Structure 1
Amino acid sequence: MSRPPSSKSEAAADAHVTLPPGWTKEYSKSQKKVYYYHHKTNARQWHVPTVTEAQNPQLAAERARRKTLEESAGGNTEGSSNSNSNSNSNSKSNLGASHTYGYHSRKLNNWLKAHLIKTKGKPRGNVLDLACGNGGDISKWNILGVKNYVGVDVARVRLEEAQRRVEGFKGLRFERWSFFKVDLGEEGLEGRVEECRREGGKSVWRWTGGDFRIGFKFDVVSCQLALHYMMQSKEKARNCFKTISDNLREGGTFIITTMDSRYVLERLMGLGGDLMDGKERVIEIGSEGLCSIKVPGETVRRIFSRDEPLTSENWYGLKYEFKLLDTLEPGAGAPPGSNVSVDLEESLLPLELAKSVMEEYGLVLQERLNFSEYFQKHKDDCTDKVDWRNMNVAGVEGNMEQTEWDISRIYCTAAFKKVRGAGGSAAGGVGHISDKDFALGLMRLRKIHGAEAVNNMSREKKIALIKKL
């Protein structure tokens, strides 16, 4: 939650602002302050909604969730390599956060990502961090010692936070870094993108025409707690897989953390009853609505239908609503709903079905583990910088509540390898086109249809039109 207006002039300015659609002005009796509420996403904030938040309130809420998951769990990965400094930092963090139900589970999530990056990343390599948010994983990549870091996200406000994080980082080991504002599911990484680069000792944001051109392929592509937002449709999913493959070198690694569809299926089956009755099902984790997965009747029907079983062609758009509370009630003086960590619509990524589609783009599944399985497998092969004992995950051997452990089981991690000779086929059988022909074709399309219209097209549509020129 951002701070409330600190002066009468700020409050007066707020009073005369026309709010974007979906936002309303509310009043907190306990704080005696005005706050702003978005009814669709349950986002709550003290400051007047920005343009970015107005355009995509769901994304604004998701970025707030990622900040909670990443920053509050950041612990020792942000600080000095000195173990005493880390211990002191963690102790202070614990004093402020241990009252929340998800504290240790967030610490476990953070340790897992740190370990995943250490073991799957490449020192002195090139990394593409998709849906990087405010840069919560930058310190992990810096500890690994990657040479070139590129962060991509749809929200400029978060990229600016990530930019400031890099600039203020002590002991930064990146030789080169940049950030790109682009919608992965809609555009791929081509078209008109906004880029932040270091120029003349300053960070400069500018628009770049044509394709996303960084000058090299990546050794690792990472997408943490975000890939499920690209699975809303076949087109979005395939755009995403194509973009990842095009930017990953042969032999490179793609790593993800996402909702574990096996867990959701297991819990749905455990609810019993007629799963084809079209009724909504709610998976409760913990007591009093602490964590819930609300699955619409249509999604349940699609999952369990025998007449129209799910296949590698029709698994897209398996929607559900995920809600996670930090505490059962808002803190003293906090506005209603401020205890909500997550309340968003997501889409399942059933890797059993999706892996054959991903293989069309050369992305071959190497390993998939539930968070609990990952911890049991790797808890004893840690180094100082990624030792769960130093990252306030100690609760897993006594202090972590069963509910927190259950929440961690919601997620899984997966690693893919890019193999030779794949990644050229576009969605819907459109086929491959060389980078040179694609760039030349884009120039001609923009003259015919206009730059804005072409930039709003999917990659598949662009290729199809270029082939007709």
Structure 2
Amino acid sequence: MSCIAANLEENKECGKETLLPQKDEPAKHSSVVAAHYNHLEEKGLKERLNSPIYYLRNFNNWVKSVLIQEYTDKIREKDYGRSLRVLDICCGKGGDLSKWQKARVEHVVFADIADVSVQQCEKRYEDLRSRCGRLFSAEFIAADCSKEPLRDKYRDPSIKFDIASCQFGLHYSFESLPQAKRMLTNISECLKPGGYFFGTIPDAYEIVSRAKKAPNGDFGNRIYNIKLLFDVEKGYPLFGGKYDFHLEGVVDCPEFLVNFKLFTKLAAEYGLELVYKARFADFFKDHSEKYRQLLQKIVCFESYPAPPGKELVAEEAEYEHAKQFWQSKENKTERDRIGTMSTSEWEVATVYMAFAFKKLKNTWDEKGKPVYTKSKQEGQSNKN
């Protein structure tokens, strides 16, 4: 695709470079989403290793790990010994359990629309606790977070969170304005002033950009496909901008575009001030140096050329960017490798973006409504 370009990062510590190719009705839809995620099978390690999106999934986990580390660190800069409480909203099967453990949080509330996923999350929590001994305390809530109040479902309705995290799930709430407001209420109302709300979503701008270049708004590659389900000629709706999204072995259900400017304005009504946003390609540039060892540990990139006895995940044609760079290298040996990702996986990665908001302090007006005090920006980074 024309939006894919080449991005090169040199791994100075291990002598390995990283080269990336760049660039229904509400009730019915909710049940479709819940059913889809409830029926996703748990994959064994062997199957995950053979997945055509193995490196993509690892890269997504790196992004989430960095977000968690960055913003738990920001809170602890002011109060190192602070016991952190977390709302993991749209938690799925608990893919971030170990990340919260490594961040040394005290308590996590896990909430998701898919009841089977929540049950699997709880089981994974119990398994992790049995292996680790000491682990953060947790509670588990099966609820449609875009339609149901969460506060009265907490063990302690007066709980205050330091962190709210929503990974790859917020876009489902942009089916309608009431749903987006309910989701933001659930995220904001128990978040402490100075606390952070961060997450990951599909980048609507990128989706629209690619759709405009594709026939009938239908585009993708061997591992993903996106098709717009509304009449583009009539414009792009602020809510209910529905599209079908298929990602090999992970997603196969309708989603909704998130107009980010609108999202930012709505969030401000709930005392959430944008402090960071970046597409995944820019997120990588921002954080790859600081979190280089984590990139290696999680195995985010494939070795090129393929080591002896191993095959590349995709056809050779998907590594032309790596091949050209490899051939241009001087004094290379048979053992030298560069880290890369197939163009198909990188095209999917660059559909997404990361964001972070900070909860503002507030006073109350004569009608009992909160009045938020805008903070001094803390090095805000917005990358379009």
Task: Quote the offset at 1:162 in angstroms.
Answer: 1.7
Other-structure match for 2:36: 61
Task: Quote the offset at 1:341 in angstroms.
Answer: 3.2
1:108 paired with 2:59, answer: yes
Distance 2:126 2:230 in 1: 48
Other-structure match for 1:160: 119
Bigger relative contact order, structure 1 or 2 (CA pairs below 8 A, ≥6 apart): 2
Task: Quote the offset at 1:184 in angstroms.
Answer: 1.1
Per-residue CA shift, 1:407-456, capped at 9, x if unaligned? 1111111101111228x89xxxxx7579xxxxxxxxxxxxxxxxxxxxxx
- The number of aligned residues is 299
Distance 1:271 1:56 in 2: 30
Other-structure match for 2:285: 376
1:226 paired with 2:152, answer: no
Task: Quote the offset at 1:380 in angstroms.
Answer: 1.2
Distance 2:213 2:342 in 1: 22
Determine if contact 1:149/1:174 at 8 Å carries over to the other structure.
no
SS at match of 2:175: coil
Determine if contact 1:299/1:319 at 8 Å carries over to the other structure.
no
Other-structure match for 2:245: 322
Other-structure match for 2:358: 417
Higher Cα radius of gyration: 1
Determine if contact 1:299/1:318 at 8 Å carries over to the other structure.
no
Determine if contact 1:363/1:417 at 8 Å carries over to the other structure.
yes
Distance 2:159 2:230 in 1: 46
Distance 1:318 1:96 in 2: 34
SS at match of 2:285: helix
Determine if contact 1:130/1:221 at 8 Å carries over to the other structure.
yes
Other-structure match for 2:301: 394
Per-residue CA shift, 1:136-194, capped at 9, x if unaligned? 10110000100111111223322222222222212255453211222211112145x4x
SS at match of 1:129: strand
Other-structure match for 1:357: 266
1:187 paired with 2:148, answer: yes
Task: Quote the offset at 1:292 in angstroms.
Answer: 1.2
Judging changes above 3 Å, is the alpha-carbon distance between structure 1 residues 186 and 297 closer, same or farther for their aligned structure 2 residues?
closer
* Aligned partner (choices 187, 203, 213) of residue 260 of structure 1: 203
Distance 1:225 1:432 in 2: 34
SS at match of 1:59: helix
Determine if contact 1:145/1:173 at 8 Å carries over to the other structure.
no
Percent identity at matched positions?
27
Task: Quote the offset at 1:405 in angstroms.
Answer: 0.8
Specify every segment of 5 or more residues in structure 1 that has no aligned partner in the other structure, as ranges. 1-39, 41-54, 73-92, 196-211, 273-279, 304-309, 326-339, 426-430, 435-469
What amino acid sits opposite 1:236 in the alignment?
Answer: Q
Other-structure match for 2:194: 251
Determine if contact 2:167/2:201 at 8 Å carries over to the other structure.
yes
Judging changes above 3 Å, is the alpha-carbon distance between structure 1 residues 190 and 282 closer, same or farther for their aligned structure 2 residues?
same
Distance 1:408 1:401 in 2: 11
Distance 1:118 1:172 in 2: 22
Task: Quote the offset at 1:213 in angstroms.
Answer: 3.2
Judging changes above 3 Å, is the alpha-carbon distance between structure 1 residues 136 and 98 closer, same or farther for their aligned structure 2 residues?
closer
Distance 1:112 1:300 in 2: 35
Distance 2:343 2:368 in 1: 50
- TM-score, normalised with respect to structure 2: 0.70
Task: Quote the offset at 1:349 in angstroms.
Answer: 1.0
Matches within 5 A, 1:209-358: 213-271=156-214, 280-284=216-220, 286-287=221-222, 290-299=223-232, 301-303=234-236, 315-325=238-248, 340-358=249-267
Distance 2:105 2:292 in 1: 18
Per-residue CA shift, 1:301-330, capped at 9, x if unaligned? 322xxxxxx6xxxx11111110122xxxxx
- TM-score, normalised with respect to structure 1: 0.58
SS at match of 1:235: helix
Specify every segment of 5 or more residues in structure 2 that has no aligned partner in the other structure, as ranges. 1-23, 25-29, 77-82, 304-337, 371-384
Task: Quote the offset at 1:105 in angstroms.
Answer: 0.7
SS at match of 2:235: helix
What amino acid sits opposite 1:391 in the alignment?
Answer: I
* Aligned partner (choices 337, 340, 344) of residue 403 of structure 1: 344
CA RMSD of aligned residues (A): 2.9
SS at match of 2:189: helix
Determine if contact 2:218/2:225 at 8 Å carries over to the other structure.
yes
SS at match of 1:168: helix
1:120 paired with 2:71, answer: yes
1:143 paired with 2:102, answer: yes
Distance 1:119 1:300 in 2: 41
Judging changes above 3 Å, is the alpha-carbon distance between structure 1 residues 239 and 374 closer, same or farther for their aligned structure 2 residues?
same
Distance 2:302 2:369 in 1: 52
Distance 1:99 1:174 in 2: 31
Determine if contact 1:142/1:172 at 8 Å carries over to the other structure.
no
What amino acid sits opposite 1:368 in the alignment?
Answer: K
SS at match of 1:101: coil
Other-structure match for 2:374: none
Per-residue CA shift, 1:315-350, capped at 9, x if unaligned? 11111110122xxxxxxxxxxxxxx53211111111
What amino acid sits opposite 1:388 in the alignment?
Answer: L
Distance 2:39 2:257 in 1: 21
Distance 2:133 2:85 in 1: 15
Task: Quote the offset at 1:268 in angstroms.
Answer: 2.5
Distance 1:153 1:360 in 2: 24
What amino acid sits opposite 2:160 in the alignment?
Answer: K
